[in-house]
Amino acid sequence: MVIIYYIFALFIYLISLPFLIFLSFKQKYKKSIPARFFLYKNPPFSKKLHWFHACSLGETKALKPIIKNFEEINLSVITQTGFDEAERHKNAHVRFLPYEIFLPFWIRSCKSLVVMEAELWYMLFYVAKRRCEKTILLNARISDRSFPKYMKFRWFYKKIFENIDIVLAQSETDKKRLLKLGAKNVKVIGNIKTITDFKVTKNYKKRRKLLVIASTHENEEEIILKNIPLEYQIVVAPRHPERFKEVEKFLKDFAAKNSLSFSKLSQSQSDEELKADIILDDVLGELINLYAVSDVVILGGSFVENVGGHNPIEVAYFNKPLISGRHIFNQKALYKEVENIKIVDVKELKEALKDLKPTFIKNRADLKEILRVIS
């Protein structure tokens, strides 16, 4: 199995080389692709430590309350935003996770490999099982939408789970699905994103009631702004930094048409005062500070069909009223952990803003049990 898989992965790599080289010139991938697919400035970890792996920004953030309990750890990621967040962890040695054909030569021994959620890479677990003291899948979940697709390749996932010693699942439903896929030693510990503690690093001053439109995707800024009253001071935070210029142009035009002022958050960093009517959050890592002073949050990724929503826990941590669209198929487990979220169609936004209730987190994962299993 492993030889066939490796040959297949090598074949995919070779036919993808022209495309990978092309993508490596794009700003979004100029660090991650050379590091992951050509090992450029991406050496193996040099110390035998607990090794955590997360895909992107959200998963890397979620690991914070766990990894802060260790003096020193290794941490690998897939995306550039995940890498930037990982580097904020002062106790972490950070790397991009290489493509699978490099892993047999790249992975060194470790105390444990702890992989977040659905990062089920066959070669990663196969090699780590033989070089690390134990392998753990953390915060494991299988969404309603994904489960039928997983079941079609049950034979393959069973092979992956043969190399995973412990699976820590988010819910009993996830546990049952994981067991059907071949997982063993599955424990339910809750969703680790419910135990995150958020630290406010800036105290923004607002001019009037503040509405934060967070983690928006293409077209969401327009459809949301066209369906809300403009009496609020509004901050718009696109999910992906590469859209900042595109969204800036739209917001400038929208503000001008409605006789409103516009500015960028990067222009408010010195005095921490939010002055304009409409503000673009063009600074990474500021959403927590904005949530802390907001009066209401509209969470993006839920008013377009192909994203599946975003994490509502950060908003609920500050007990802020939260409004969401209906397309939340990737976040159903987290939405169940938050009380008082309003889920509406985009045309119902104006009405939803009239009767607001603070949100709060209902259940928190068992951090002590997680640390016990890892250690």
Rg of the chain taking only CA atoms, in angstroms: 22
Cα→Cα distances 183→23, 166, 172, 187, 288, Å = 36, 8, 14, 11, 36
Q: Map out the domains of the chain with their CATH numbers.
A: 18-188 (3.40.50.11720), 210-361 (3.40.50.2000)
Q: How many beta carbons lie within 10 A of that of residue 344, not counting itself? A: 20
Cα→Cα distances 351→219, 221, 323, Å = 21, 18, 11
Cα→Cα distances 120→123, 127, 161, 222, Å = 9, 13, 9, 36
| Alpha-carbon gap, residue 287 to 256, rounded angstroms | 25
| Global confidence as pTM | 0.76
Q: How many beta carbons lie within 10 A of that of residue 28, not counting itself? A: 14
| Alpha-carbon gap, residue 93 to 70, rounded angstroms | 12
Per-residue pLDDT of the chain (375 residues; tens, 9 = 90+): 899 999 999 999 999 999 999 999 998 899 999 999 999 999 999 999 999 999 988 899 889 999 999 999 999 999 999 999 999 999 999 999 999 999 999 999 999 999 998 899 999 999 999 999 999 999 999 988 889 999 999 999 999 999 999 999 998 999 999 999 999 999 999 899 888 778 899 999 999 999 999 999 999 999 999 999 999 999 999 999 999 999 999 999 999 999 999 999 999 877 899 999 999 999 988 999 999 999 999 999 999 999 999 999 999 999 999 999 999 998 888 898 999 999 999 999 999 999 899 999 988 888 999 999 999
| Alpha-carbon gap, residue 267 to 283, rounded angstroms | 10
Beta bridge partners of 140: 169
Question: What are the backbone dihedrals phi and psi of residue 95, each rounded to the nearest 5 degrees, phi first?
Answer: -140, 160
Cα dihedral across residues 352, 336, 281, 276: positive or negative: positive
Cα→Cα distances 276→74, 234, 362, Å = 42, 8, 35
Token pair 């995150």 in the structure block, residue: 196
61-267-213-320 Cα dihedral, nearest 10 degrees: 70
pLDDT of res. 359: 97
Output the CA angle 360-364-365, nearest 5 degrees. Answer: 155
| Alpha-carbon gap, residue 230 to 35, rounded angstroms | 45
What are the structure tokens assigned to 4, written together?
A: 């066939």
